[in-house]
Structure 1
Amino acid sequence: VSVAVAANPFGWTKGWHGSYDYENLAKHADYLMVMAYDESCLAGPTASVGWVEKSIQYALTQNISPQKLVLGLPFYGRCWMQGQSNSQAISLYLVNSLVKRHNGTIIFDTKSQSPKAVFTIKHDKKDPLPPGAYTLWFENEQSLRAKIKLIQKYNLKGLGSWSLGQEDSSFWNKVFKNI
């Protein structure tokens, strides 16, 4: 039996993140999957490496064996339109074509170990997003490799994702190469 729990990098006791009793859930489950994604409410990383690591560290303070912890990683990004507070989830396999189609730029943020793209959609009836300026934070091979190294560092059981099928078809060979 596995139980998915919200990441809790700061030991919150209220709200979505604080509503899971990791220790007691672990007593009745074979695995806890820490959903280490959806970090940012406003434009920002989906899962910065620091946030993911703090989420792992918190879980380990809850009397849970590392071999009971599975790290859940995002296979999607979040796209924010300038001036809006809500975001649109974008599957990883769509990111490169979206950025290319709108002449966007991809920047890798070394602090968060996360890429982001900036682009502007003009009037394009083929696009599911309305016209406007966008920032898209997402995951790529480099960012996921940094997070997978945390699984090794803390000797966790393994990894899971939200959700299979959203990754690029070449993902598995690229990410696990040289790990």
Structure 2
Amino acid sequence: MLPHGTFTAWLLLLSPLLVLLGVTLSWAVCPCADPALCDPIKHIPDFEVFVFHVGRKSWKLYDWSNITTVALFAQYDPELMCFAHSKGARFVLKGDVRITDMVDPDNRTAWITEKVNLAKHQFMDGINLDIEQPIFKGSPQYYALTALVMETTDAFHREIPGSQVTFDVAWSPDCVDLRCYNYSAIASSCDFLFVMSYDEQSQIWTECVAGANAPYNQTLEGYDKFINLDIDPKKLVMGVPWYGYDYTCLELSQDNKCALFKRPFRGAPCSDAAGVQVSYRAIMKQVNGSSSGRLWDDQQKSPFYNYKDKSGSVHQVWYDDPESISLKVAYVKTGGLRGVGMWNGDLLDYSSDPSAQEQTAAMWKALLP
């Protein structure tokens, strides 16, 4: 016979697989030292701080003083669940599915049931729907997506009291990347929208040059457009990037204009696919030794820098730091938004290096208006 602890560990590992296979367990074993930590979080915070966790053990070094939700975009970790609950933070699933499969109501019901069961057996507090597929207004997928959000919210709220259902949207409701969703209905159907105010160069319709990942004016215009759809500002959480883009320049002008290779995306002739995503952690290790040092674009209100690689090619890196983030986050308060979050919590330097600790602390602090 297996020791109780070993059996529990195996059950926790197998539970998601069994749920996926349609096997419903009638019970689950709480992995926390205090069984009360397996109870769902029910309180609604005054201010939301939403964190995406994508892996590694860096979560132990997050600034937990204000975190209210952790969305799991990595392998399930019962230790993280227990710790999040000990801090009063929700711990939620990732929900991603091909929307063409969800046109059939029976498929929607089956998918939602699977996710609810998985959340129950992992003692989780809801789901973050991260569906970023192109959908045209009035199509079967358009109506299926709206129904999926409404039905998911109804099921989670019914089966897990106090649970949270959220939906990730692009920085603007203007069919960004052909995501022509019914944003008003989706916002009404779930607890709130997480607005991904980054990758704002995913479709470049003007001059094909490098630019800010989240330019200030463009970012705030996106929120104005959501609110003009009669979406309550308290249904909006501002997402900010903890990463930037490294672009190889075809040519760099004297006024720091970096011409890009054309990389079309969903109809646009140019996009940030011409660059490579780079973490804030890596950026901080490179910027001070770059050929230009940190520069500031006052129109986009974003930092950037230039450097040459070993082959002699010129690069331009655009990113966000505490200064640019704080400027945007100030709108969270003035605009009456529900809160703030970032993609993602694991992109900072959590090492013991004093300068890294200072940089990391400043990024967490910048989330608070």
Runs of 5+ unmatched residues, structure 1? 124-130
Could you say which residue in structure 2 is the equivalent of 1:128? none
Could you say which residue in structure 1 is the equivalent of 2:137? none
After TM superposition, the structure 1 = structure 2 runs for residues 1-16 of structure 1, keeping only pairs within 5 Å, are: 1-8=165-172, 12=174, 14=175, 16=177
After TM superposition, the structure 1 = structure 2 runs for residues 110-125 of structure 1, keeping only pairs within 5 Å, are: 110-123=298-311
Could you say which residue in structure 2 is the equivalent of 1:146? 327
> Which stretch of structure 1 is more off in the superposition, 69-78 or 94-103?
94-103
1:4-44 deviation per Cα after TM superposition (whole angstroms, max 9, x unaligned): 01111xx53x4525522210101211010111111124410
Which residue identity does 1:97 align to in structure 2? K
Could you say which residue in structure 1 is the equivalent of 2:236? 69
Structure-1 separation of matches of 2:186 and 2:289: 45
Judging changes above 3 Å, is the alpha-carbon distance between structure 1 residues 15 and 108 closer, same or farther for their aligned structure 2 residues?
A: closer
1:48-83 deviation per Cα after TM superposition (whole angstroms, max 9, x unaligned): 110110011011011111111001111100110012
- Bigger strand share: 1
2:253 is equivalent to residue 92 of structure 1: no
Structure-2 separation of matches of 1:28 and 1:91: 34
After TM superposition, the structure 1 = structure 2 runs for residues 123-162 of structure 1, keeping only pairs within 5 Å, are: 123=311, 132-162=313-343
Which residue identity does 1:71 align to in structure 2? M
CA drift of 1:174 comes to 2.2
> Which stretch of structure 1 is more off in the superposition, 16-25 or 110-119?
16-25
Percent of residue pairs bearing the same amino acid type: 23
Structure-2 separation of matches of 1:146 and 1:171: 17
TM-score (norm 1): 0.85
Which residue identity does 2:235 align to in structure 1? K
Structure-2 separation of matches of 1:150 and 1:31: 17
CA RMSD of aligned residues (A): 2.1
Could you say which residue in structure 2 is the equivalent of 1:108? 296
Higher relative contact order (CA 8 A, sep 6+): 1
Could you say which residue in structure 2 is the equivalent of 1:48? 215
Runs of 5+ unmatched residues, structure 2? 1-164, 251-259, 262-273, 350-356
Could you say which residue in structure 2 is the equivalent of 1:126? none
CA drift of 1:102 comes to 4.2
Q: For the Cα contact (< 8 Å) 1:5–1:32, is it kept in 2?
A: yes
1:97-149 deviation per Cα after TM superposition (whole angstroms, max 9, x unaligned): 123344442111112110011111125xxxxxxx5110000001100000110
- Bigger helix share: 2
Q: 3-state SS of the aligned residue for 2:294?
A: strand
Judging changes above 3 Å, is the alpha-carbon distance between structure 1 residues 67 and 39 closer, same or farther for their aligned structure 2 residues?
A: same
Q: Which protein has the larger Cα radius of gyration, Structure 1 or Structure 2?
A: 2
Q: 3-state SS of the aligned residue for 2:348?
A: coil
TM-score (norm 2): 0.43
Q: For the Cα contact (< 8 Å) 1:104–1:120, is it kept in 2?
A: no
Q: 3-state SS of the aligned residue for 2:240?
A: strand
Q: For the Cα contact (< 8 Å) 1:102–1:121, is it kept in 2?
A: no
Could you say which residue in structure 2 is the equivalent of 1:25? 186
Which residue identity does 1:144 align to in structure 2? I
